[in-house]
Amino acid sequence: MPLITIDDQPIEVETGTLIIQAADRLGIEVPRFCYHPDLRPEGNCRMCLVEVQGYPRPTVACTTPVVDGMVVRTPHAGDQARRAVRGVLEFLLINHPLDCPICDQAGECSLQDFYMHPDYGLHRSQVDPQEKVRKRKAIDLGPMIVLDSERCVLCSRCVRFSAEVTGTAELQFVNRGNQVELKAFEDRALTDPYAGNLADICPVGALTSKDFRFKRRVWHLARTDSICAGCSTGCNLRIDHFQGTIERLVPRRNPAVNQSWLCDEGRMSFHALGAAPRLTKPRAQGTGDAVNWDDAVATAHGGLHAIRRPGQPSRLAALASTSATNETLLLFWRYVSETFTAPLLDCRLGQEDRWVDEREDTLLRRRDKHPNTRGALLLGLAADPAGGLRPMVAQAQAGAIDAALILYYPPLVGAEDPATLEALATLVRAVPFSVVLTTHEGEWGRNATLALPIAAWSEEEGTYTNYAGVVQYAGKAVAPPGEARAAAAVLGGLLGQAGRYPGGSTVQARFDELAAAVPAYAGLTIAGLASRQASVYPPEGRLPYGQEGFAGH
Amino acid sequence: MSLLSAESLAIIADARRAGPSAQGALLTALRLTQRERRQVGVAEVEYLARLLDLSPAVVEGVARFYDQISREPTGRQVVSLCRGIACYSRGAGAASEALRAALGVGPGETTADGRITFRLVECIGDCDHAPAVMLDDRFLGAATPAGVRAALDQG
Amino acid sequence: MERILTLHADQGDQPRLAVARERGAYDGLRKALGLTRHQIIAEVTASGLRGRGGAGFPTGRKWDFIRPQPGQPVYLLCNADESEPGTFKDRYLMERDPHLVLEGLCIAAYAIGAHDVFVYLRGEYASVGSILAAALAEAGEAGILGATLLDSPYELRINLQLGAGAYICGEETGLISSLEGKRGYPRVRPPFPAVHGFGQQPTVVNNVETLANLPWIILHGGEAFATLGTERSTGTKLISVCGAVNRPGVYEVEMGYPLRDFLAREAGGILDGRALKALIPGGTSVPILTAREAEDVTLDFESMQHAGTMLGSGGMIVFDQTVAMPGALATIANFYAHESCGECTPCREGTGWFAWIIARVLAGEGRPNDLEQLLRICANVEGRTICGLGDAAVQPVRSFITKFRAEFEALLPADQDTRPDWQRHGHGPRAARHGPLGQEAAWAEPVAGPSSARL
Amino acid sequence: MDKKDLPVINVTEAAEAETNLASGMGGTLAGMRVTFNHMVRQVLGKDQVTIQYPEQRKPYSRRFRGVHVLTEREDGSLKCVACYLCETACPAECITIEAAETPDKSVEKVASRYEIDLARCIFCGFCVDACPEEALIMSREYDLTTYERDSQTSYGIGRLTTRPEIEAYGAGYRPHMHYPLVESYLPGRRRKVTDEPEKERS
């Protein structure tokens, strides 16, 4: 393996590694616009010029593979490189509009950051603002993207993304010289379902998010790392929120799960939380709305406990959700199996256990729109092949069910399936005593004996296990509305009523219990998840996405 | 319906086979389209995109890279005056004015009747006849209004 | 003097195959087919032939880089995109002696094992293209360039491709991109075309004139070729001279031929007996030479390099005393601003900035520090770009300003304005920066400006 | 210098002089005279120290940091493009902005809501310093007395642009007041901020 030194720091890397990658590994910031780890390097922005001992002129770090013994100096250490990068940055700015006050990129803009860098920025402008080349502004490119070609630095990241990743090739450059302009043919709306990523990969304010447009200045945003709950892929993302409201979702790079991408449905999924009215107070049938949590939990357990028949199976229909976190599911499973004898316990509304293995497209999206189906399956919540919501309904209609405990989260991506809602409604109507834990007001839950408001995605922390068995931690960004509580807390309460151990108070503790209870998770910890991609499925730890690969690659 | 003549389509088909990639035929296709349609506008771009199985954006991007491919229709005859350094030093400026007067249109313009387009082009490699002028693909040698007129009339 | 390229070119009937055959066309190819590839490459290497496109890279070495994997196709691309301002030698060859070019093409293809050849002609050479096509057809019917070469079993398919007006497509990787049906963007090297070229396959790109030397080299041997010219510039060179001379045109001279004699004899002296002011020896992409500098230069790579310029494409542009340098530079700067492909930053913005500043200087609206500004921009463009166009654009700007500074300074106002540049308003014409470059470019008449202090 | 050049004060003489005065009514009268003179001048209305506020007001410096004013372009449109820099700079967190899009592509972004809670404002002027376009300046208006707190101390776009007080007091503190970089107009008056007179008219 070649051994090279960058700014006097030695590093050994695999053959074929690019200088810029080696520098990144050393944590040395090499300024760049066109280079992106998940796109083919093109070396056109010339911002990553570095000097290599023995080379007559500065060379681009993003296309030059390391050679053993190479001695590299970045602009931070080398005068030649510094002069080169200063020059390139000045060129990039001579025709850049003075838009920062109205540009959504401001605050997370490479041009701004680099210009403010003492090593290669802070030059005095030599051009009159009136002289700049004018191009077209505020061009609407469909539901996701707004294009401002004047701000474009022509790094071609977007062009390569639409050509290599989505294969739609909807963006191209036209003209020549300093008249070159980024353009979608006839300004047509971008059709590919991953267009939102263009706003992320654009290093400047040329391609910005239409949904986030003018909402907030980015420096006001608080950031929480999380996992997309839109489907069973479990793309890594960051929740940007301000004073308790989610403003946008942006992908986090994870080469093993979603590279740097996020589908538009996932990106917009947070809007689903506010789309319908939320359930904010525990509600008991008959008695108006005024039920406090303690009474509610007590009543719930009381009613459920009452149906137990000594020596005989309990006629309880317990329906968990494949959208719940592993920790919630463990408590649900524990409460049901520790309190009742042979109840109907399942997590399927439909065919989740089959859909979880089906792709929706060749890039990220999967047919199963639940984030944690694999986790639920690993917990044995779909043990009975004939189980699921529909059989429960059938039995309830046959009068074979005395009580129902339902945990339900509306999907964040795609509309709720009316048939499923109808089935739920029927189940609730058909059983004499029903406890519903859910996030939103819903017709189907009207007749429930007890409706308990729980926290939705982004309002509680926990782990999800994606289709391929990668266990990932999702943080809590905002507080649940009203009196809503994390489902884990509610189930813990029920366990307490049952005189059982209510589970740990922190997510770490609850996950340790999961690791202890479920062999697949043995030896894992929350802290460990962050550092490595733990795959618990299939058990031998083979990563299916390894073979599946991604579109356009 | 096809925007291009059968023989053009045949040539494009050959070009697709000649190179390692089908997209290699795009340049030829653009030239033929420009010659037959006198422009590569929206309709032409979409047609070529379908023909060569490319995205319209890609076709437009390539089309708008080259000087000889024009978005707006050009005249039936294109007079190209060289503004290269050699021709400049031999009075292309004066020639430009003379031609403007003779043709009634300035550089970059097309006559109202859509017959003649007058362009200034970069060095066309006819420097020994500076200031050099072309009519379509023909080198006319040194640019004199009379000479250009004659050439225009004989078509 | 020994003539290699223009031996028959002056006879009008040379394009006719029958005539050309009588004069020995394709004899070199016949002999080449009797040799092995390595023998041919050895001959060419021995001949010391260097690329005639402008860079002067040894042709034998270039061929030697081709090491295809088994079953991997190899491509030969003939660079006939002769767009360098002031250069028209390749056009001369292809029009007057197409079979010589085709013969060289076949030899080269055979030498590197290429079965598919593409001749990339610039769009403006459509008429030249039809001459080549006719010659090609004739040679095809005669069974010379049919499915196979002469009577050998060697398959060769020659394709003509016309460009559509883009200087950058004369750059070898830009030519490859254009041929692949993409925007003519040059590519970052490494990987070199010899490894990943046309369609990611091993590719050689040779200039027309380079190829035209091959038949002679094969017939008379590399040694013989090496005896011509100077030690490191062997053979002869086509010089296309234009501008202020009495007999502009294409002339073949032996390398090392004195420039003074060339101007006096071949070029027929300066126009109307005026005095030489300056000349650009190898297309606008090389530094200009003042009359004094030009005095004892000889026409070969080393001497030109020694004089601080390059032989380049051999497109010689001569200026007499009546030409004002600022106007000339504006024309050249507009050319590069117009022809920069816009892919990489320094060239895209730098060439535009050159044109813009020079335009306003010419319009008498320059700023006092504009010349320093231009030189500063030169330093920021040179050596920072993907391809050679950036460097090429720098050469004229820097050499014109340093060698004819007085003429530029005469156009600049004295500095009263003390405000920082970004606060000054109302500079120069927008033409250089706005709208599709060029059609609006203001003409500056080449009338006599204040003559340079150096003359 | 020489010792004998030093000025000499004979303390004893001075002391004697005072004792003589004090012995008579002289000192008292002297004092009375001063008091009397002042009384007369006050009554006759010459150089009064107090003024009859609010009927009378004192002019303030043009750098006075009073209630804010949102300036306009020449065409009368609001200059503020909701860049949030003032909100970001405000140490009292009393500025609330909401941005909206405008069809005018040369502007793109405008403030649909701009509110300064003057009950929280400390009139430090950071907001004005932060504004890149002199879209927000301060006026010389200083009397903010109201009967209600929230409803009347929180100024929205309306009150920040159209108030008789702006007319009365004129423009106050703004950066570059001596080296104007940008053009801004006082709301509704089509008068350049830079044309503001040195002294306030009364």
Check whether residue D90 and residue D190 sit in a common domain. Answer: yes
Q: Count A/C contacts: CB-CB distance under 8 Å.
A: 118
Q: How far is C49 from chain B (nearest CA, A)?
A: 25
Check whether residue D156 and residue D107 sit in a common domain. Answer: yes
Do B57 and A169 count as a contact with CB atoms less than 8 A apart?
yes
Q: How far is D173 from chain A (nearest CA, A)?
A: 22
pLDDT of A546 > 70? The answer is no
Domains A3-92 and A130-220 share a fold: no
Alpha-carbon span D41 to D19, nearest angstrom: 31
Confidence of residue D56 (pLDDT cuts 50, 70, 90): confident
Do C348 and A88 count as a contact with CB atoms less than 8 A apart?
no
Answer yes or no: are the C-beta atoms of C345 and A45 closer than 8 Å: yes
Instruction: Tell me what percent of the residues of chain C surpass a pLDDT of 70.
Output: 91
Alpha-carbon span A34 to A88, nearest angstrom: 13
A139–chain D Cβ distance below 8 A for any pair: no
pLDDT, mean of residues D11-39: 76
Check whether residue D80 and residue D33 sit in a common domain. Answer: no
Mutation to test the C interface, candidates A44, A125, A172, most C Cβ within 10 Å? A44
A137–chain D Cβ distance below 8 A for any pair: yes
Residue with tokens 């390398």: C255
Least confident interval from A47-61, B139-153, C112-126, C253-267: B139-153
Confidence of residue D110 (pLDDT cuts 50, 70, 90): very high
Q: Which residues in chain D touch residue A138, judged by CB atoms under 8 angstroms apart?
A: 105, 108
- Phi then psi for residue C27, to 5 deg, are -70, -40
State pLDDT tens for residues A130-176.
889 999 999 999 999 999 999 999 999 999 999 999 999 999 999 99
Do B128 and C127 count as a contact with CB atoms less than 8 A apart?
no
Confidence of residue D189 (pLDDT cuts 50, 70, 90): low
Q: Which residues in chain B touch residue C87, judged by CB atoms under 8 angstroms apart?
A: 123, 125, 127
Answer yes or no: are the C-beta atoms of C60 and C45 closer than 8 Å: yes
Q: Which residues in chain A touch residue B57, judged by CB atoms under 8 angstroms apart?
A: 169-172, 183-185
pLDDT, mean of residues A297-320: 94
Fold of C17-227: Rossmann fold (3.40.50)
Alpha-carbon torsion D65, D70, D76, D81, what sign? positive
B94–chain A Cβ distance below 8 A for any pair: no
State pLDDT tens for residues C361-380.
999 999 999 999 999 999 99
Architecture of domain A130-220 in this structure: 2-Layer Sandwich (3.30)
Identify the CATH number of the domain defined by range C325-415: 1.20.1440.230
User: What is the pLDDT, as a whole number, of residue A245?
Assistant: 96
pLDDT of C44 > 50? The answer is yes
Do B88 and C162 count as a contact with CB atoms less than 8 A apart?
no
Alpha-carbon span B124 to C83, nearest angstrom: 7
Confidence of residue C431 (pLDDT cuts 50, 70, 90): very low
pLDDT of C445 > 50? The answer is no
Q: How far is B57 from chain A (nearest CA, A)?
A: 5
pLDDT of D198 > 70? The answer is no
Q: Which residues in chain B touch residue C162, judged by CB atoms under 8 angstroms apart?
A: 27-28, 31
User: What is the pLDDT, as a whole number, of residue D199?
Assistant: 53
Q: Which of D83, D85, D101 sits opposite A213 (nearest CB)?
A: D101
Do B120 and C181 count as a contact with CB atoms less than 8 A apart?
no
Could you say which DSSP state residue A413 is in?
Answer: S
Alpha-carbon span A412 to A405, nearest angstrom: 22
State pLDDT tens for residues D156-185.
999 999 888 777 788 889 887 766 677 888
B26–chain C Cβ distance below 8 A for any pair: yes
Q: Which residues in chain B touch residue A176, judged by CB atoms under 8 angstroms apart?
A: 65
Mutation to test the A interface, candidates B55, B65, B70, most A Cβ within 10 Å? B55
| Domain extent at residue D138 | 68-195
Q: How far is D100 from chain A (nearest CA, A)?
A: 7
Collect all residues with Cβ–Cβ distance below 8 Å to A180 and sequence separation of at least 6: A154, A173, A174, C342, C348
Q: What is the pLDDT of chain C when averaged over all its residues? A: 91
Confidence of residue C394 (pLDDT cuts 50, 70, 90): very high
- Chain C residue with CA closest to B126: the answer is C88
Q: Does the domain at residues A3-92 carry the CATH identifier 3.10.20.740? A: yes
Q: Is residue D58 part of a domain?
A: no
Counted domains in chain D: 2
Chain B (50-69) residues lying within 8 Å, Cβ to Cβ, of chain C = 52, 61-62, 65-69
Q: How far is A92 from chain B (nearest CA, A)?
A: 21
Q: What is the DSSP string of C16-70?
A: SHHHHHHTTTTHHHHHHHTS-HHHHHHHHHHHT-B-SSSS--BHHHHHHT--PPT
Characterize the bridge pairing of strands A207-209 and A181-184: unpaired
Do C439 and B119 count as a contact with CB atoms less than 8 A apart?
yes
C in contact with A (at least 3 C-beta pairs within 8 A): yes
Assign domain C239-320 one CATH number from 3.20.20.140, 3.40.50.300, 3.10.20.600, 3.20.20.70.
Answer: 3.10.20.600
Q: Which residues in chain B touch residue A172, judged by CB atoms under 8 angstroms apart?
A: 55, 57-58, 60-61
- Chain A residue with CA closest to D110: the answer is A102
Fold of A275-548: Rossmann fold (3.40.50)
Do C183 and B18 count as a contact with CB atoms less than 8 A apart?
no
Q: Which residues in chain A touch residue B65, judged by CB atoms under 8 angstroms apart?
A: 174-176
Q: How far is A269 from chain D (nearest CA, A)?
A: 23
Q: Is residue D123 part of a domain?
A: yes
Q: How far is C420 from chain B (nearest CA, A)?
A: 35
Q: Which of B45, B55, B64 sits opposite A169 (nearest CB)?
A: B55
Confidence of residue A289 (pLDDT cuts 50, 70, 90): low
Q: What is the pLDDT of chain A when averaged over all its residues? A: 92
Confidence of residue C455 (pLDDT cuts 50, 70, 90): very low
Confidence of residue C413 (pLDDT cuts 50, 70, 90): confident
Rg (CA), chain A: 27
- Those chains having 3 or more beta-carbon pairs within 8 angstroms of chain C are A, B
User: What is the pLDDT, as a whole number, of residue D143?
Assistant: 85
State pLDDT tens for residues A179-231.
999 999 999 999 999 999 999 999 999 999 999 999 999 999 999 999 999 99
pLDDT of C428 > 70? The answer is no
Q: Which residues in chain B touch residue A185, judged by CB atoms under 8 angstroms apart?
A: 45, 55-57, 60
* Sheet strands (E) in A9-135: 9-12, 49-52, 59-60, 71-73
What tokens appear for B62 in the block?
């390539």
pLDDT, mean of residues C116-138: 97
Alpha-carbon span D69 to D84, nearest angstrom: 16
Mutation to test the A interface, candidates C343, C360, C437, most A Cβ within 10 Å? C343
Domain spans of chain C, in order of start? 17-227, 239-320, 325-415
Residues across chain B: 155
Q: How far is C234 from chain B (nearest CA, A)?
A: 26
Q: Count A/B contacts: CB-CB distance under 8 Å.
A: 32
Characterize the bridge pairing of strands A344-346 and A316-319: parallel
User: What is the pLDDT, as a whole number, of residue D19?
Assistant: 64
Nearest to C421 by CA among A129, A88, D183: A129
Check whether residue D110 and residue D154 sit in a common domain. Answer: yes
B in contact with D (at least 3 C-beta pairs within 8 A): no
Least confident interval from A394-403, A534-543, B139-148, C246-255: A534-543
Check whether residue D39 and residue D72 sit in a common domain. Answer: no
Do D84 and A214 count as a contact with CB atoms less than 8 A apart?
no
Least confident interval from A416-420, C122-126, C150-154, C433-437: C433-437
Q: Which residues in chain A touch residue C349, judged by CB atoms under 8 angstroms apart?
A: 91-92, 94-95, 178
Could you say which DSSP state residue A11 is in?
Answer: E
Q: Is residue D161 part of a domain?
A: yes
User: What is the pLDDT, as a whole number, of residue D197?
Assistant: 62
B10–chain A Cβ distance below 8 A for any pair: no
Do A219 and D88 count as a contact with CB atoms less than 8 A apart?
yes
User: What is the pLDDT, as a whole number, of residue D176?
Assistant: 76
What residue ranges of chain B have pLDDT lower than 50? none
**pTM for the full model?**
0.91
Check whether residue D135 and residue D170 sit in a common domain. Answer: yes
Do A90 and C434 count as a contact with CB atoms less than 8 A apart?
no
Instruction: Tell me what percent of the residues of chain B surpass a pLDDT of 90.
Output: 88
Confidence of residue C425 (pLDDT cuts 50, 70, 90): very low
Which residues are paired to D109 by β-bridges? D101
Helix, strand, coil share (%) of chain A residues, nearest 5: 30, 20, 50
Q: Which of A42, A49, A176 sits opposite C384 (nearest CB)?
A: A49
Alpha-carbon torsion A411, A417, A420, A422, what sign? positive
Do C338 and A57 count as a contact with CB atoms less than 8 A apart?
no
Confidence of residue A537 (pLDDT cuts 50, 70, 90): low
State pLDDT tens for residues A237-248.
999 999 999 999
State pLDDT tens for residues A384-436.
888 999 999 999 999 999 999 999 999 999 999 999 999 999 999 999 999 99
Q: What is the pLDDT of chain D when averaged over all its residues? A: 84
Instruction: Tell me what percent of the residues of chain C surpass a pLDDT of 90.
Output: 86
Do B65 and A174 count as a contact with CB atoms less than 8 A apart?
yes
Do B57 and A171 count as a contact with CB atoms less than 8 A apart?
yes
Check whether residue D37 and residue D107 sit in a common domain. Answer: no
pLDDT of C131 > 70? The answer is yes
- Chain C residue with CA closest to A92: the answer is C345
Confidence of residue D23 (pLDDT cuts 50, 70, 90): low
Domain spans of chain A, in order of start? 3-92, 130-220, 275-548
Do C437 and A179 count as a contact with CB atoms less than 8 A apart?
yes
SS3 C145: strand
Check whether residue D34 and residue D122 sit in a common domain. Answer: no
Alpha-carbon span A459 to A475, nearest angstrom: 8
pLDDT of C437 > 60? The answer is no
Q: What is the ipTM of this complex?
A: 0.89
Confidence of residue D187 (pLDDT cuts 50, 70, 90): confident
Q: Which of C127, C242, C244 sits opposite B138 (nearest CB)?
A: C127
Each residue of C149-187: b (16+ CB within 10 Å) or e? bbeeeeebebbbbbbbbbbbbbbbbbbbbbbbbbbbbbb
User: What is the pLDDT, as a whole number, of residue A536?
Assistant: 65
